[in-house]
Amino acid sequence: MRTDSPGPVVNAPPDRSGPTPTPTPRRLEVAQRVWQHSLELASSGEQRELSDQALALLRTARHDADTMVHALGLGRSQTRHPSNDEAARRGVQLLVRIITYLGVKSKPRESPSHAD
């Protein structure tokens, strides 16, 4: 007579046949974080040197000038909405001043070539 019976499996792999978990919110992309930081800097009542603000935003952009320009584009698109506010305009103005201060040149947009 056999005495060993199948018992519960202690370390069974999880059953993946159930509902999928709710996805976690996506982290902001770097340009979005630069834009948010620009809004914070522009709306704070603190008077900081432009060079300090430029350094702060450049660090947020991971020292990538193209990311700074991308953040400016995000800000400009936000100020076009009817619900825009003065804080968004100040954020854009700050980014423009910082980008100019840093001497960032925006890359010219490539125009599609047309075959005649």
- Residue 110: what pLDDT? 45
pTM assigned to the model: 0.66
Contact yes or no for 68/57 (Cβ under 8 A): yes
Specify the pLDDT at position 14: 57
Mean per-residue pLDDT pooled into runs of 10, the chain (116 residues):
54 56 64 95 86 94 93 91 81 95 70 45
The reported pLDDT for the residue numbered 80 is 85
**Given its phi and psi angles, is residue 70 left (phi above 0), alpha (psi -120 to 50 degrees) or beta?**
alpha
CB contact burial 28-60 (16+ within 10 A = b; e otherwise): eebbebbbbbbbebbeeeeeeeeeebbebbbeb
User: Which pLDDT score is estimated for 115?
Assistant: 45
Domain range list for the chain: 30-102
